[in-house]
Amino acid sequence: MKKKNIYLLTSLLILTSCNTTGIQEENKKEDQKEVEMNTNDTTAGREEKAEESVVAIPEEVFGTYYGESSTGGQLKLTLNGEEGNVEIHLEHSSSLVSQWNMQVSYEKENEQLIYQNGQYNQREYTSETEYEEKSSYENGEGYFEIGKSQLIWHDEKAEMEDIVFVKEEMVGLSNPWQSFTDIEEAIRFSKVEFDPPIEEALPKGFQLNQYLAMEGVIEADYSDENQFLFVRKSNTSEGKELSGDYTVYSKTWQMNNKGLAITCEGDGEKANLMYFSSGDMHYAIGINLSNEGAGLTKEEIS
């Protein structure tokens, strides 16, 4: 349109030999109006696209969820402005707790809640009220796949299997773990036969604290003045998932002990986490989780 006007004006100037000053001013005004109109159209288009990209999280997705596997844990999804806020609480043992927090947005096409700012903190309790807090990583990335009354969590940064969280109204017990002082009661509750380690097999100074049990999993917790150790057995979960420990250790290696292939994680010399299987039964042993260098040596494991 602009190019055509220039040709037309030039022809008129040649034919009439008139002064071009007034015509140039009018042309400038017309060009300015056209630029302003185009700018307004572009801005309006961007605002419209931005509004389309902000999709509200379905109301029925908000609420409290609980871990379906032996990992357990609690997830809370609440509204925070135009996004959602997710808080995850996983209790690995009586003294070690992991927490995640992230802002999520809704991706309608894939039915996912996605995030890029996940923060992971771990608390190691030295008493009922005192603990040491450690930040394991920030800016975690991942997503929650939205299912029927459940969220399936996949985190790109944590080396763990996906965790299924079931909505509160679909869960019979908010916390599947129960604490026991009597081993027989713990066995009956978990439906898993369990022979805890004899005292001589434990590191020096460790004493029994309690037994924990849920259906399919049983655990014995031990500690001395500064350290914590657990032994967990299951007929439903295995490997790192059974341990409930999501620390990313610097080394992972294999060792063989009396015919058992044991996976170890730690600093390469001392293992903080060990897991293995024997027949249909699966085991996980953890000591001073996340504190590399404070694990068990090969000789102590044997």
Q: Give the per-residue pLDDT at 94.
A: 67
Q: Residue 222 pairs with which residues in a beta bridge?
A: 208, 229
Q: Give the per-residue pLDDT at 28.
A: 54
pLDDT higher than 60, residue 45: no
Q: Give the per-residue pLDDT at 104.
A: 96
Calpha distance 120→125 (Å, rounded): 16
**Residues 165-210: pLDDT tens digits?**
988 776 554 567 889 999 999 999 999 999 988 878 888 889 899 9
Calpha distance 246→253 (Å, rounded): 16
Is residue 178 a contact partner of residue 188, using CB atoms and an 8 Å limit? no
Confidence of residue 266 (pLDDT cuts 50, 70, 90): very high
Q: Which residues contact 222 (CB under 8 A, 6 or more apart)?
A: 202, 206, 207, 208, 209, 228, 229, 230, 231
Q: Which residues contact 99 (CB under 8 A, 6 or more apart)?
A: 87, 88, 89, 90, 120, 121, 122, 123
Q: Give the per-residue pLDDT at 7.
A: 39
Q: Give the per-residue pLDDT at 128.
A: 67
pLDDT higher than 90, residue 298: no
Q: Tokens 């288009």, residue?
A: 45
Q: Which of 268, 295, 291, 277 is closest to 233 using CA atoms?
A: 277
Q: Tokens 């024997």, residue?
A: 278
Q: Give the per-residue pLDDT at 175.
A: 62
Interior CA angle at 72 toward 97 and 242, to 5°? 90
- Whole-model pTM: value is 0.54
**Residues 104-116: pLDDT tens digits?**
999 999 999 999 9
Sheet containing strand 228-234, edge to edge, reads 178-180, 207-214, 217-223, 228-234, 281-287, 271-278, 260-266, 251-257
Handedness of CA 229, 231, 236, 242 (dihedral sign): positive
Q: What is the mean pLDDT of residues 68-81?
A: 81
